[in-house]
Amino acid sequence: MPICSRCGNEIEFRYIDGRCIPLHFDGGCSGSARSDVYDYAGYNRSKESSCFQTKCPECKKPVYFIRHNGGSVWIDPPLGPPWYKHPCMDKTYVAAKGIRSSAVPESALAKFKQREGLIIGVVTEVEASASKQCSLITIETGKDVSIVLLMKNNAGFLVGSLVLYDQRGKSVSWVENDSYTFRVIARLKPRFIRPDLLALRIECPECNAMIATGDIAEHMKRQHWFPRRFDLDRYPDQSAPVKHAGGAVRSNKAKPAAPQRICPNPSRWNDVHKQLVNYAEAHSCRPSRPPAPLILAGWAYSNDTEKMHRWKETVDWASANGCAEIVKAVSDQDLYKVEEPTTYSIGPMGGPCYRQWDTEAKVRPPEEELAKHFEYLSAHWVDVAGLDLSMVTRPVAFTGKKARRLLVQAEGEAIPPWGGWFDRSTEEAKRRTFTRFRSAVNKAIAPHEVDHIDFVTDEEQARASPPITSAG
């Protein structure tokens, strides 16, 4: 039985006037949004929608012109409350003889009138995830840089619509009906510059893992294959230079962030630690010894944020025990500095580890459980592998002593995005596509997981492989 992506209740699809409409058995959707909005997953773009600053053709004053799927509107700058329509283009204003009208309904005016940080704009691009747990939207606001937001739930119907972006409340509301409000998970473009905002941990809408804001886009792409068509690189992080009167060019782009002091370089940190240890042995200190420096293996297997916190603990210890002059003697030239401190965990090979290291022994699941996992994987193979890959592959069996290998039959003439069925490209970006593919498989068969995916290109070879659980 189909399930509503908004309220989770059972629905039935009926064709009414040639359109496929979801109908709720209890009469309506009880979710955050109503069921009379066309709800879908995937990518959509409105080429006609736009928002830009221009001059009124009548009075030549600056105005914002917004074209959306409900028509168009001319708004007086700035693009904040109460969003008055420009008098020259407002027939309501002329008819009412001086009474100005707003581009948004009265309910929205009452809701947002006293709040700052509000922006009105038009949604030009949307991609909703396959699970409909999140969406990416682009809002044109008349500025040099479009705003790209990662939002909770399926906002696919907003494409081409006029919306209000509440930067402080972190929400986006549909102007036509402000009861349709979506929570903003993160702003992806323009990218935050402050390291503390980039390091702020937020919950991934797909797997509920806590990810740093600066890493959420890469995490979604790598772990959940999202987005598939939305090109984030197409949007600049900052605005382009603007030419002002007199020919002067002034850049709206923020100045590069000054390198942030993290901690002393390893050799200097080691010297400081020895001095602090000598001091602790000659004095009564609490705690009795200073924090251990992150040098040698500690340096290799810690990120910048962890180094910074450890050094702060060292400075606090020295200040509390009366030897602050030792740490203050570290010169600026002896400090390790970076513009954007790393926040990801470090893996056993010294590189980024985006998944918690797991050393727990695994056991083979019961046969009935494996059969259910394989049945689900086979039934949802298009969603797991993607349309292109699913046309040239099919899952054959779980293999291995603990059923932690997946055997997949593939067409030998086809070329997978990671380079080949029996080897992978030397390019990191292509190799990552296989990592995302395996992640999608594991998400589909959770809580079971596979460590390896083996491919065969011969049907007889696929039949000869000893299955644990197969397609039959």
The reply to whether 195 falls in a domain is no
**Does 60 share its domain with 181?**
yes
User: Could you tell me if 62 and 179 lie in one domain?
Assistant: yes
> What confidence tens digit (pLDDT) does each residue in 351-373 have?
566 556 566 788 899 999 999 99
Of 147, 170, 189, which closes a domain?
189
Q: Is residue 225 part of a domain?
A: no
Whether 337 has a pLDDT exceeding 60, the answer reads yes
The whole-angstrom separation of Cα 368 and Cα 48 is 53
Q: State which H helix or E strand residue 66 sits in.
A: strand 62-68
Q: 373 and 444 share a domain? A: yes
Q: Is residue 209 part of a domain?
A: no
pLDDT tens digit sequence for 76-118: 887 777 788 888 887 765 545 667 788 887 777 777 655 667 8
- The predicted pLDDT at position 409 comes to 92
Give 321 or 349, the one with higher predicted confidence.
Answer: 321
Pick 223 or 276 by higher pLDDT.
276
Sign (positive or negative) of CA dihedral 230, 34, 387, 220? positive
93 neighbors 100 (Cβ within 8 angstroms) = yes
Give per-residue pLDDT as tens, 26-83.
655 655 444 334 455 688 888 888 888 888 888 888 888 898 886 788 888 877 777 8
For residue 448, give Cα distances in angstroms to 205, 369, 451, 465. 21, 9, 10, 21
Q: Is residue 442 in some structural domain? A: yes
CB 259 within 8 A of CB 246: no
* Secondary element (H or E) of residue 71: strand 71-75
338, 304 contact by CB (below 8 A): yes
Domain stops at, among 136, 169, 189: 189
Query: Kindly report the CA angle at 242 between 236 and 247, in degrees rounded to 5?
Result: 150
Residue 199 Cα distances to 213, 227, 300, 340, 344, angstroms:
6, 22, 20, 9, 9
pLDDT at position 471: 42
Is 460 a residue whose pLDDT tops 70?
A: no
Residue 151 lies in a domain: yes
322 or 119, which is more confident: 322
Both 55 and 181 in one domain: the answer is yes
Residue 266 has a CB neighbour count (10 Å cut-off) of 17
Single-letter residue type at 166: D
Residue 92 domain-assigned (yes or no): yes
Give the pLDDT of residue 57: 86
Q: Could you tell me the pLDDT band of residue 249, with boundaries at 50, 70 and 90?
A: very low
The residue among 458, 398, 388, 451 whose CA lies nearest residue 418 is: 388
Check whether residue 343 and residue 396 sit in a common domain: no
The pLDDT of residue 347 is 63
Residues 242-259, mean pLDDT to the nearest whole number: 50
pLDDT at residue 34, rounded to an integer: 40
Cβ pair 243, 456 in contact under 8 A: no
Among candidate residues 219, 148, 212, 215, the one with its CA nearest the CA of residue 184: 148
Identify whether the C-beta of residue 446 lies closer than 8 Å to the C-beta of residue 365: no
Specify whether the CB–CB gap between 102 and 82 falls below 8 A.
yes
Q: Which residue has the tokens 């200190």?
A: 285
Lowest model confidence (mean pLDDT) among 184-188, 316-320, 336-340: 336-340
The whole domain housing 389 covers: 367-470
Report the pLDDT value the prediction gives residue 245, as an integer from 0 to 100.
Answer: 43
Domain co-membership, 129 together with 176: yes
Asked if 173 and 112 sit in the same domain, the reply is yes
Token pair 């168009």: residue:
72
Six token digits for residue 409:
């039959």
The stretch 333-347 carries a mean pLDDT of: 80
Beta strand segments in 288-424, E: 335-338, 345-346, 352-353, 393-399, 405-410
**Comparing 375 with 222, which gets the higher pLDDT?**
375
φ, ψ for residue 156 (rounded to 5)? -60, -35
Distant-in-sequence, close-in-space partners of 73: CB < 8 Å, separation ≥ 6: 65, 66, 85, 89, 103, 162
pLDDT of residue 353: 60
Q: What is the pLDDT of residue 243?
A: 45
Closest by CA to 317, choosing from 355, 276, 282, 284, is 276
Burial of 1 (0-12, 13-18, 19+ CB in 10 A): exposed
pLDDT for res 242: 43
- Residue 155 resides in a domain: yes
Out of 23-32, 191-200, 283-292, least confident range: 23-32
**How far is residue 387 from each of residues 217, 266, 370, 420, measured CA to CA in Å?**
22, 50, 25, 18
Q: Are 77 and 66 a contacting pair, CB within 8 Å?
A: no
Query: 367-379 vs 428-445: helix axis angle to the nearest 10?
Result: 120
- 310 and 371 belong to one structural domain: no
Kindly state whether residues 69 and 160 are assigned to the same domain: yes
Candidate ranges 69-73, 193-197, 281-285, 457-461; pick with highest mean pLDDT: 281-285
Q: Examine the pLDDT at 248 and tell me if it is beyond 50.
A: no
Q: Which one of 311, 330, 353 terminates a domain?
A: 353
Predicted pLDDT at 253: 46
pLDDT at residue 404, rounded to an integer: 93
Please tell me the predicted confidence (pLDDT) of residue 33: 42
pLDDT above 90 covers a percentage of the chain that reads: 28
Looking at the fold, whether 329 and 431 belong to one and the same domain comes out as no
Rounded to an integer, the average pLDDT of 116-137 is 87
Measured in degrees and rounded to the nearest 5, phi and psi for residue 357 equal -65, 130
Q: Which residue has the tokens 């050799």?
A: 267
**Amino acid at site 199:** A
What pLDDT sits at residue 37?
A: 43
Question: For strand 62-68 and strand 71-75, is the pairing parallel, antiparallel, or unpaired?
Answer: antiparallel
Count of domains observed in the chain = 4
| Calpha distance 155→153 (Å, rounded) | 6
Residue 115 sits in the same domain as residue 163: yes
Between β-strands 162-166 and 405-410, what pairing exists: parallel, antiparallel or unpaired?
Answer: unpaired
C-beta separation of 257 from 193 below 8 A: yes
- Same domain? 428 vs 317: no
* Domain membership flag for residue 133: yes
Q: Between 24 and 202, where is the model more confident?
A: 202
Query: What is the domain-level CATH number for residue 440?
Result: 3.30.300
Phi and psi at residue 128, to the nearest 5°: -100, 140
Residue 377, classed as helix, strand or coil, is helix
Model pLDDT, residue 374: 93
pLDDT in tens, 383-427: 888 877 888 899 999 999 999 999 999 988 888 988 889 888 877
Q: Rounded mean pLDDT of 212-240?
A: 80
Instruction: Give me the pLDDT at residue 339, please.
Output: 78
Using DSSP's 3-state secondary structure scheme, residue 421 falls into coil
Cis status, amide bond into 287, omega within 30 of 0: yes
- Mean pLDDT for the stretch of residues 433-453: 90
Cβ partners under 8 Å of residue 298, min gap 6: 292
